[in-house]
């Protein structure tokens, strides 16, 4: 019997695995997608090759791209941008690691407290999570982003509308700042050489291909690749835990799709997680038992597996409450070079606590074209909807076409993009359910993702309109010659809260320690456990801080260990001991 089985090796699962393996526990990690062992050979900079949802190497599916992707049912016009594989969706994330604002946590009593989702706060105070934020920031590490031309133009616009600069990690009032991100700073010839190679080049090479995965600089050990996606940070650490702590390396099996979580009778009458059954690509099924099971499959697959396992759902909240930052996209066309396709993709942001935030988003040509043709308002000028309205100062709402589209895309480095990130309300109407039995694949009944786009709460819709208007103002103040609002339909990119923790048993799946209320010994450690939309902060850092706290709880509650946060210093993923072990073991 194992000590711990972790289901999923994306943004949260490897955090738990690394922390528990470092303390000597026997940890098995099962990932339903591939492991990219040599990204310099396996990845490309071809955008369709990477991001095509049915055939790309970043699809949700098995490593053999001749096989079908794992299906999802989408009853509305929407797009789910998730990744299966070791590293999960952190493989294509921008590395942005802001902390969530204080207003999303229990006990917040600031003057703007009512601006947040007061009914669905995290079941602990911000101060309780702070040391875990700091632990993750030191481990990855998280640093103030390296910046370039597009960031300077964004800042020019933010200053132009009267926003002050924020020099702290925590936004307390409307302000702008560099991103805090998990991308190593450029050093040596990085960003200068035509073919940047380690060790002459170290850190971010400013290649601009964050969304296609970070394999730079070439020749660097895996844990020294620039972007700190978990496959470059926590995964190498969990696989070498014996080398840098004297712990026990975790075992990782990729292309192992977990099909069932097993339970046994618990001493309190509540069932207890006892193990899992998973299937390998050759069709063989395997069972592993463990004292503790950690569910970290993501906001779609975690509730799907729960339901396919027929685990209890006494309050009906498994899969409900999906938050996704109700994204929108506003872009401006400039006469000057913006550096849109160059450098780390998003290194500047503006925060509006209680409403959400804005961040710049640099894109290569294919993704830029996608972003400019993805709209819930149809072709600009062809029709108008009651909501949203075209913000004052914007030239168009909806898709631009014809000559206008061609002119805007003639040079992507004359575009500046702003992504709208709303602080969503948790709403029971949005979520993940199952289609009727019989409509599925070998992994069980497939998930149905429902996002009631135009029926969001009044606060969520208010936040989106407020932020879109601010984005237009920033672009105008920065000198854009034309400004366009897309009105995106659901682009499910920041996927959260479908297995939420909460203060009330009536509308949450997990308690304050991320342990399931209905199944003992079953913890949740992915974005799905977040209590709310984290105030529109990019979710990965908060998920990883919560996962660190959960791992510590598992260690102390079930294995008699001592707490470590506050007593120990975290080991950084680029520590020499980790690097030596990664090189020696060919990781």
Cα 98 to Cα 127, 300, 359, distances in angstroms: 16, 23, 11
Chain-centroid distance of CA 518 in Å reads 26
pLDDT in tens, the chain (587 residues): 999 999 999 999 999 999 999 999 999 999 999 999 999 999 998 999 999 988 999 999 888 999 889 989 999 888 898 999 999 999 999 999 999 999 999 999 999 999 999 999 999 999 999 999 999 999 999 999 999 999 999 999 999 999 999 999 888 999 999 999 999 999 999 988 888 999 999 999 999 899 899 999 999 999 999 999 999 999 999 999 999 999 999 999 999 999 999 999 877 788 999 999 999 999 999 999 999 999 999 999 999 999 999 999 999 999 999 999 999 999 999 999 999 999 999 999 999 999 999 999 999 999 999 999 889 888 876 655 545 667 778 999 999 998 889 889 999 999 999 999 999 999 999 999 998 777 777 788 999 999 998 889 999 999 999 999 999 999 999 999 999 999 999 999 999 999 999 999 999 999 999 999 999 999 999 999 999 999 999 999 999 999 999 999 999 999 999 999 989 999 999 999 999 999 999 99
Pairwise CA distance, residues 540 & 88, whole Å: 11
Pairwise CA distance, residues 542 & 136, whole Å: 9
Contact in structure between 277 and 257 (CB atoms under 8 Å): no
**What are the phi and psi torsion angles at 137 (to 5°)?**
-60, -35
Pairwise CA distance, residues 548 & 566, whole Å: 12
Pairwise CA distance, residues 157 & 360, whole Å: 11
**What are the phi and psi torsion angles at 276 (to 5°)?**
-140, 160
CA-CA-CA-CA dihedral for 253, 254, 255, 257, to nearest 10: 60
Q: What residues form DSSP beta bridges with 425?
A: none
Residues 6+ away with beta carbon under 8 Å from 107: 125, 126
**What are the phi and psi torsion angles at 551 (to 5°)?**
-60, -40
* Helix or strand (DSSP H, E) at 292: strand 285-295
Contact in structure between 426 and 119 (CB atoms under 8 Å): yes
Q: How many CB atoms lie within 10 A of CB 462?
A: 14
Cα 137 to Cα 141, 183, 552, 554, 570, distances in angstroms: 5, 11, 17, 21, 9
Looking at 438-479, which runs of residues are DSSP E strands? 440-441, 444-445, 447-450
Pairwise CA distance, residues 227 & 238, whole Å: 17
**Nearest by Cα to 346 from 148, 49, 101:** 148
Cα 270 to Cα 501, 510, 518, distances in angstroms: 18, 14, 7
Residues 6+ away with beta carbon under 8 Å from 561: 23, 555
Chain-centroid distance of CA 154 in Å reads 23
**Nearest by Cα to 9 from 26, 46, 34:** 34
**Nearest by Cα to 374 from 469, 491, 271:** 491
Radius of gyration from C-alpha coordinates of the chain: 22
* Helix or strand (DSSP H, E) at 235: helix 234-239
pLDDT value of position 249:
98
Burial of 516 (0-12, 13-18, 19+ CB in 10 A): buried
Contact in structure between 247 and 22 (CB atoms under 8 Å): yes
Q: How many CB atoms lie within 10 A of CB 489?
A: 19
Chain-centroid distance of CA 438 in Å reads 31
Contact in structure between 460 and 326 (CB atoms under 8 Å): yes
pLDDT value of position 386:
47
Contact in structure between 6 and 537 (CB atoms under 8 Å): no
pLDDT value of position 159:
98
Looking at 296-438, which runs of residues are DSSP E strands? 328-333, 348-352, 356-360, 396-397, 415-422, 431-434
**What are the phi and psi torsion angles at 295 (to 5°)?**
-95, 115
């Amino acid at each position: 019997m194992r000590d711990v089985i972790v289901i999923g090796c994306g943004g949260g699962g490897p955090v738990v695995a690394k922390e528990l393996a470092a303390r000597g526990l026997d940890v098995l990690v099962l990932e339903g997608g591939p492991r990219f062992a040599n990204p310099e050979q396996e990845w490309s900079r071809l955008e369709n090759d990477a991001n095509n949802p049915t055939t790309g190497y970043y699809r949700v599916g098995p490593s053999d791209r001749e096989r079908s992707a794992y299906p999802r049912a989408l009853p509305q016009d929407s797009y789910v941008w998730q990744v299966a594989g070791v590293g999960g969706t952190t493989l294509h994330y921008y590395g942005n690691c802001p902390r969530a604002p204080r207003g999303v946590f229990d006990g917040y009593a600031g003057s703007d407290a009512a601006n947040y989702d007061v009914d669905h706060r995290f079941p602990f105070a911000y101060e309780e999570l702070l040391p875990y934020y700091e632990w993750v920031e030191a481990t990855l590490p998280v640093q103030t982003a390296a910046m370039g031309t597009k960031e300077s133009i964004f800042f020019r616009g933010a200053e132009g509308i009267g926003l002050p600069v924020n020099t702290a990690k925590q936004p307390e009032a409307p302000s702008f700042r560099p991103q805090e991100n998990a991308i190593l700073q450029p050093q040596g010839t990085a960003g200068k050489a035509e073919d940047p190679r380690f060790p002459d080049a170290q850190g971010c090479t400013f290649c601009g291909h964050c969304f296609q995965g970070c394999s730079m600089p070439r020749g660097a050990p895996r844990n020294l690749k620039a972007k700190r996606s978990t496959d470059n940070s926590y995964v190498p650490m969990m696989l070498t835990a014996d080398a840098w702590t004297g712990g026990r390396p975790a075992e990782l099996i990729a292309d192992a799709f977990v099909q069932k979580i097993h339970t046994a009778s618990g001493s309190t009458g509540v069932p207890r997680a006892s193990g899992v059954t998973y299937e390998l690509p050759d069709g063989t099924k395997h069972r592993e038992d463990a004292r503790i099971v950690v569910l970290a499959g993501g906001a779609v697959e975690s509730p799907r597996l729960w339901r396919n396992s027929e685990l209890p759902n006494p309050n009906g909240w498994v899969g409900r409450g999906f938050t996704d930052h109700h994204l929108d996209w506003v872009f401006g066309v400039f006469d000057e070079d913006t550096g849109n396709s160059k450098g780390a993709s998003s290194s500047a942001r503006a925060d509006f606590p209680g409403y959400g935030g804005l961040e710049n988003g640099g894109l290569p040509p294919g993704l830029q074209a996608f972003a400019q043709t993805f709209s819930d308002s149809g072709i600009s000028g062809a029709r108008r909807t009651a909501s949203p309205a075209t913000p004052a100062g914007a030239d168009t709402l909806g898709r631009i076409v014809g000559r206008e589209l061609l002119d805007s895309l003639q040079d992507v480095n004359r575009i500046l993009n702003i992504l709208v990130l709303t602080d969503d309300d948790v709403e029971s109407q949005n979520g993940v359910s199952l289609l009727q039995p019989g409509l599925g694949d070998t992994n069980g009944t497939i998930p149905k993702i429902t996002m009631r786009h135009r029926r969001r709460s009044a606060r969520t819709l208010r936040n989106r309109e407020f932020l879109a208007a601010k984005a237009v103002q920033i672009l105008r103040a920065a000198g854009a010659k034309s400004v366009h609002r897309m009105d995106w339909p659901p682009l499910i990119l920041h996927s959260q809260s479908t297995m939420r923790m909460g203060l009330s048993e009536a509308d949450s799946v997990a308690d304050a320690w991320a342990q399931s209320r209905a199944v003992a010994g079953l913890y949740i450690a992915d974005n799905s456990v977040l209590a709310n939309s984290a105030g529109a902060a990019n979710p990965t850092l908060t998920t990883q801080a919560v996962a660190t706290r959960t791992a510590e709880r598992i260690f102390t509650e079930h294995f008699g260990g001592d707490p470590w946060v506050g007593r120990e210093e975290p080991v950084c993923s680029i520590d020499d001991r980790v690097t030596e072990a990664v090189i020696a073991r060919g990781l």
